[in-house]
Amino acid sequence: MITSCSFGVMVIEGKKYTSDLIIYPDGNIEDSWWRRKGHGLSLDDISKLIESKPEVIIAGTGASGLMRPEPELDKVLLKKGIRFIAQPNRKAVKIYNELSSTKRVGACFHLTC
């Protein structure tokens, strides 16, 4: 459960994170996550997350939504049986918290911009 999210900070189960991160369906968290193209999100950026076999991947695109998924990313993931949702962080957190209790959900969050 993500308990709070603000510009540059996310709190998950009482632990504070201040760098971009990935949450795997089993609850493990990879902090200090980097993307190859700064404010872009590609299939390669989330390859380990895809390997964890989530039903849903939620991308928190930043406080203002400036991180942009590649145009075909949702279609490629759908072919793999993975639903993809990209929203600014506040909305992405809400969706993550709602779905994570009933589905295998993975997420990636850009904590600034």
Whole-number mean pLDDT of the chain?
A: 96
Which residue range forms the structural domain that includes residue 55? 2-109
pLDDT digits (tens, 9 = 90+) for 7-46: 999 999 999 999 999 999 999 999 989 999 989 999 999 9
Written in H, E and C, the secondary structure of the chain is CEEEEECCEEEECCEEECCCEEECCCCCEEECCCCCCCCEECCHHHHHHHHCCCCEEEEECCCCCCCEECCCHHHHHHHCCCEEEEECHHHHHHHHHHHCCCCCEEEEECCCC
**CATH of residue 6:** 3.40.1230.10
Q: How many domains does the chain have?
A: 1
pLDDT in tens, 38-86: 899 999 999 999 999 999 999 999 999 999 999 999 999 999 999 999 9
| pTM summary value | 0.95
